[in-house]
Amino acid sequence: MGFYCEDSSTGITVFDNVFYKMENSSCVLYTNGGWNITMKNNIIIEPYSYSVVLSPQYYTWAKKHVLSTFGKGGLFEKRLLTDINITLPPYSDRYPELVNYMDPIIPGKEWEGLRSRRNIFSTNVIIGGKENPVLLRGSLHAYFKSINNFQTKEDPGFVDYKNENFKLRKDSEVFKKIKGFKPIPFDKIGLYIDKYRTKL
């Protein structure tokens, strides 16, 4: 897969990438839950399977770990309310979307952070792959909204699809189908010379 968002990942944006023939039986982006994961303005070409898979782990295979993670004395209570406190400044000022992460839904059993929230798959181009590019597994609390994407089985208007030049022509159908899609900056992709890398 291209991106694996580990347990309870939050605040990740995947943008301006080109994924070509991701030969993985799972997907291009996988997450076990999390909040505010955004995948936007990417070109996904001939994926073997899904573009996105979300598996809400705390309602499926990791259900047995809920109390040791979110409960009294648990890992997240220590990290998010004791070592620091996400409900107070400066953390609440910098990350206001996390303030209620440890709030109980059912005291002692279920917390807000168990449920995936505000995950968005938008303005992506998908060539091939599954008919529905987003798979939500195993729970009503799996959330990854798919909006304003364009999926096709045909060349959407690449400069030279056959020879793997995936820059979009100015007359590409993509710009008609997806309002706000920005061309991938191929000329800026790659390594740069700077104070840490003095030669290529």
Tens-digit pLDDT profile for residues 42-63? 999 999 999 999 989 999 889 9
C-alpha separations of 19 from 84, 124, 184, 196, 200 in Å: 37, 11, 12, 28, 24
Which of 37-51, 62-76, 128-142 has the lowest average pLDDT? 128-142
HEC letters along the chain? CCEEECCCCEEEEEECCEEECCCCCCEEEEECCCEEEEEECCEEECCCCEEEEECCHHHCCCHHHHHHHHCCCCHHHHHHHHHCCCCCCCHHHHCHHHCCCCCEEECCCEEHHHCCECCEEECCEEECCCCCCEEECCCCCCCCEEECCEEECCCCCEEECCCCEEEECCCCCHHHHCCCCCCCCHHHCCCCCCCCCCCC
pLDDT of 24 > 80? The answer is no
Cα distance between residue 146 and residue 168, in whole Å:
22
Where do the domains of the chain lie? 3-56+116-188, 66-111
- Judged against a pLDDT cut of 90, whether residue 88 lies above it is answered with yes
Q: What percent of the chain has pLDDT over 70?
A: 100
- Averaged pLDDT for residues 142-164: 97
Q: Average pLDDT of 103-131? A: 96
